[in-house]
């Protein structure tokens, strides 16, 4: 019975007929129409069954499919493969989704030229994206095409991303705030109506040195309220990191209602959240300050106010080198002058 059903389903997909001195095999499936002629019916049927299976499994690739395949289609295929080994699946899904919806995502692979890619690069930089972020996005899309060519059978002759100059990584940023500016910022964030927890979120970033994504993904089950530690499951280093929590952070976390998925901060749109923070910065009359700069402020606070050393700072912030930790700490000349004054 099962074989009969299979044959009936197959007849709807594959058709074979004799035309003059050759056998023509036609395979139709989900908008694709593939045909080829053969000298024998057996060869035609063999090709038709193979093509039918590949179409149903999504593995059939020829010039026709390549002309129809867009970059976003390839990114989806790459995502399915990369998720098998990725240690940051949520971050990867977010980045692939973002790039799939970008202007480049709509282009067929055969029309994806270096000029289009460079135009996208320049537009993103003009829109305020950092050089490091744009560089990372270009590298991710380039990686998807490389994997597509090598492992997924995408018949592209070259990778156009390799012909485009990538922005150089950002130079060290040293933006920090004075105590009165931080106070104004937290107050302004707390006044946000769209994200009522924005003030709490900003203060915890400052006190813990968490990255934005690490804090967004933090769940109640990851927090030990008694011993005041938390495990960040998905980090930039692709491995969990345990951080210390101050009594103030514990107090802030306990003040938050629990979301359905167990996270503390139910943020559906990262873009809307970032814009809300930018508006709070503007209301606080602070210029040139980004959410990530709170890590700089927090590192400086732990060094200057709490007396932490570089090793402690590295463990809390997830930095693997002392040079990177020192870059973030950015000890102020006022603090050093104060220490010199205490020596007299």
Number of domains into which the chain is organized: 3
Residues 208 and 261 in one domain: yes
Q: What's the angle, vertex CA 317, arms to CA 311 and CA 323, rounded to 5?
A: 55
Is 206 a domain residue?
A: yes
Domain final residue, candidates 97, 130, 163: 163
Is 170 a domain residue?
A: no
Pairing of strands 229-232, 14-19: unpaired
Predicted confidence at residue 60, as pLDDT, reads 63
Residues 184 and 293 in one domain: yes
pLDDT digit string, tens, across residues 158-197 = 899 999 999 987 666 678 888 999 999 999 999 998 999 9
Is 123 a domain residue?
A: yes
Residues 187 and 329 in one domain: yes
Q: What is the CATH number of the domain that holds 260?
A: 1.10.443.10
Q: In this structure, are residues 159 and 150 in contact, taking their beta carbons and an 8 Å threshold?
A: no
Predicted confidence at residue 135, as pLDDT, reads 93
Residues 264 and 313 in one domain: yes
Pair of tokens at residue 299: 């590192």
| Partners of residue 160 on adjacent β-strands | none
Predicted confidence at residue 6, as pLDDT, reads 44
Report the residue count for the chain.
344
Residues 304 and 185 in one domain: yes
Is 65 a domain residue?
A: no
- Residue with token string 């109506």: 193
Residues 187 and 256 in one domain: yes
- Residue with token string 């002392």: 322
Is 105 a domain residue?
A: yes
* Boundaries of domain holding 294: 179-343
DSSP string, 250-316: HHHHHTSPPPTTSBS---S-HHHHHHHHHHHHHHTT--S--TTHHHHHHHHHHHHTS---HHHHHHH
Is 171 a domain residue?
A: no
Is 9 a domain residue?
A: yes
Is 32 a domain residue?
A: yes
State the first-to-last Cα distance of the chain, in angstroms, to the nearest integer: 96
Closest to 116 measured CA to CA, from 104, 105, 106: 104
Q: In this structure, are residues 210 and 204 in contact, taking their beta carbons and an 8 Å threshold?
A: yes
Q: In this structure, are residues 85 and 143 in contact, taking their beta carbons and an 8 Å threshold?
A: no
Q: What is the CATH number of the domain that holds 99?
A: 1.10.150
Q: Which residues of the chain have pLDDT under 50?
A: 1-11, 64
Residues 24 and 92 in one domain: no
Residues 40 and 89 in one domain: no
DSSP string, 172-223: PP-----HHHHHHHHHHHHT-SSSTTHHHHHHHHHHH---HHHHHT-BGGGE
Residues 82 and 43 in one domain: no
Predicted confidence at residue 2, as pLDDT, reads 44
Residues 78 and 118 in one domain: yes
| 330: alpha, beta or left? (left if phi > 0; alpha if psi -120 to 50) | left
Residues 215 and 311 in one domain: yes
Residues 298 and 247 in one domain: yes
As a whole number of angstroms, the distance between CA 36 and CA 13 comes to 14
């Amino acid at each position: 019975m099962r074989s009969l059903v299979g044959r009936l389903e197959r007849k709807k997909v594959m058709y074979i007929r004799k035309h003059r001195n050759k056998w023509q095999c036609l395979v139709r499936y989900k908008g694709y129409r593939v045909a080829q002629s053969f000298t024998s019916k057996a060869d035609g049927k063999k090709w038709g069954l193979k093509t039918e299976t590949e179409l149903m499994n999504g593995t059939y690739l020829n010039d026709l499919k390549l002309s129809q395949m867009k970059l976003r289609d390839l990114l989806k295929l790459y995502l399915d493969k990369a998720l098998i080994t990725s240690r940051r699946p949520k971050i990867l899904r977010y980045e692939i989704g973002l790039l799939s919806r970008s202007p480049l995502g709509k282009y067929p692979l055969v029309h994806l030229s270096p000029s289009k890619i460079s135009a996208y690069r320049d537009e993103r930089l003009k829109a305020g994206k950092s050089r490091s972020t744009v560089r990372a996005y270009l590298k991710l899309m380039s990686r998807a095409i490389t994997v597509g060519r090598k492992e997924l059978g995408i018949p592209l002759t070259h990778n156009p991303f390799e012909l485009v100059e990538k922005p150089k990584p950002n130079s060290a940023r040293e933006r920090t705030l004075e105590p009165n500016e931080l106070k104004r910022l937290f107050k302004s964030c707390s006044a946000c109506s769209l994200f009522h927890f924005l003030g709490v979120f900003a203060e915890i970033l400052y006190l813990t040195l968490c990255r934005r994504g690490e804090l967004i993904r933090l769940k109640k089950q990851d927090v030990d309220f008694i011993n005041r530690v938390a495990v960040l499951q998905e980090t930039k280093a692709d491995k969990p990191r345990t951080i210390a929590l101050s009594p103030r952070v514990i107090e802030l976390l306990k003040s938050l209602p629990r979301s359905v998925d167990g996270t503390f901060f139910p943020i559906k749109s990262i873009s809307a959240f970032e814009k809300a923070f930018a508006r709070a910065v503007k209301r606080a009359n602070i210029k040139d300050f980004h959410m990530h700069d709170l890590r700089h402020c927090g590192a400086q606070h732990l060094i200057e106010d709490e007396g932490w050393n570089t090793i402690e700072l590295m463990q809390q912030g997830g930095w693997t080198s002392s040079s990177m930790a020192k870059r973030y700490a950015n000890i102020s000349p006022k603090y050093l002058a104060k220490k010199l004054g205490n020596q007299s």
